[in-house]
Chains A and B, each alone.
Chain A
Amino acid sequence: MAAKTLTIDGKQLSAEEGATVLQAAAEAGVKIPTLCHLEGLHDIGACRLCLVEVAGGPKLLPACTTLITEGMEVTTASERLKNYRRLTLELLFAERNHVCAVCVANGHCELQTLAGQQGLDHVRYDYCFPPWEVDATHRLFGMDHDRCILCQRCVRVCWDIEGAGTKHVSGRGGKAKIISDLDDDWGDSETCTACGKCVQACPTGALYHRGSTVGEMVRDRSKLEFLVNAREKKLWSV
């Protein structure tokens, strides 16, 4: 494939045609914040944290779904973008009940880490405090909707990699919810294979291993990459 040259944050670089801005940036060592992106899953451009400025166009574009073009000039961390990222994170914290201090993922949470990196020290919007519940019916895993940011990584991993189609999104807007089967108790699911990939994919403390307590829920993302490489490229490199 042909290579394209482009500039990201002033850095000249070249990347293969068909690469996304996010991939090209990663190769060049430029880290763009993401939440819904996960290596091995198809991108949906939902979290809007990876939005970047591209010279010549007024619109901000998601780095995860935008393909590179020849001569493209990308800015990933202007003051404007940083501000938008902070606001977006604030919205997420206010939306559900993210109580970091007592969360299983405390210290290992992508949302928490991003907030720290973006210098978010408080949330100016009124918290919504919605009454979400915890599904602790599965013998191995739990789902705490309070911590869910609807990134759909669990849904995509369940459909794209495991292929079971257990998880999906129900409802819409602020009432959207990750479900198992017909919004059944997860423990009653007839399709769930208990593979645990969704738990590995979750960026926050929404999906967890039962029995893990505050700060204990550490994920192994490399397993997903390993699986995708094994399935698609027939390469088994642990």
Chain B
Amino acid sequence: MERLKIATVWFGGCSGCHMSFLDLDEFLLDLAARVDVVYSPVVDCKDYPEGVAVCLIEGAICNEDHLALLHRIRARTRVLIAFGDCAVTANVPALRNHLGSGNAAAVLQCAYLDHAQDRPRLPAEAGIVPVLLDRVRPVHEVVYVEHFLPGCPPPADRIKALLTQLLHGLTPHLEGPPLTFG
């Protein structure tokens, strides 16, 4: 059987969802036996490859790099999973959205200048520091997403259930205690 290509990606989030993924413990070994993790914060790979079967997306879409990569991911992946509250609802990263237009500048000003303890300076390096979007967005507001795993973070057994069903070629159906935001 051909080994499936799996990816995980980390956008605007705290990496807690990835921690929850690592909480899968020995299931990770079962997974490793069946799939290749071709792109992930824990894999040293610069480019998102073609022909990926499943991608777990953690985090909200906050900057132009996120946006560009997400479009590439959508084009090269069969099934996207919005992974955790930041990806599903934009969550905490989107708190700046309430400030209205110009919020990105306001947030940078507050964090890097007004409250800097040492050498106040805006991070700016063309081509390296990505430009913030004016509106932090959940993943499905940008591209079509097949499955959603809300939770902050989503519990490990839920991740396992979803991946197992997907790998067995089933239409995922999650049962048991309801999954909620938060």
Which residues of A are at the interface with B, using a C-beta cutoff of 8 A?
93, 97-103, 106-107, 109, 112-113, 115-117, 119, 121-124, 126-127, 129-132, 146
Size class of the B contact interface (CB-based, 8 Å): 20 to 34
Tell whether, in the assembled complex, residue B89 and residue A116 are in contact, meaning their CB atoms are under 8 Å apart: no
Q: Nearest Cβ distance between residue A140 and chain B, in whole angstroms?
A: 25
Q: How far is the CA of A146 from the CA of B148 in the complex (A)?
A: 24
- Nearest opposing residue in chain B for A105, CB measure: B182
Tell whether, in the assembled complex, residue A100 and residue B180 are in contact, meaning their CB atoms are under 8 Å apart: yes
Tell whether, in the assembled complex, residue B92 and residue A102 are in contact, meaning their CB atoms are under 8 Å apart: yes
A115-B181, A116-B180 as given contacts; A122 in contact with B150, CB under 8 Å:
yes
Tell whether, in the assembled complex, residue A115 and residue B148 are in contact, meaning their CB atoms are under 8 Å apart: no
Q: Nearest Cβ distance between residue A125 and chain B, in whole angstroms?
A: 10
Q: Which of A101, A124, A129, A131 touches B181 (beta carbons < 8 Å)?
A: A101
Which residues of B are at the interface with A, using a C-beta cutoff of 8 A?
82, 85, 88-92, 94-95, 97-100, 135, 138, 140-141, 145, 148-150, 152, 178-182
Q: Determine the main DSSP class of A at the interface with B.
A: loop
Contacts of A100 in B (CB 8 A): 85, 89, 152, 180-182
Tell whether, in the assembled complex, residue B140 and residue A122 are in contact, meaning their CB atoms are under 8 Å apart: yes
A99-B92, A100-B152, A122-B88 as given contacts; A116 in contact with B97, CB under 8 Å:
no
Tell whether, in the assembled complex, residue B181 and residue A126 are in contact, meaning their CB atoms are under 8 Å apart: no
Q: How far is the CA of A94 from the CA of B110 in the complex (A)?
A: 27
A112-B180, A115-B181, A127-B97 as given contacts; A121 in contact with B88, CB under 8 Å:
yes
Q: How far is the CA of A50 from the CA of B111 in the complex (A)?
A: 45
Q: Nearest Cβ distance between residue B177 and chain A, in whole angstroms?
A: 8
- Nearest opposing residue in chain B for A123, CB measure: B89
Q: How far is the CA of A101 from the CA of B91 in the complex (A)?
A: 7
- Nearest opposing residue in chain A for B87, CB measure: A122
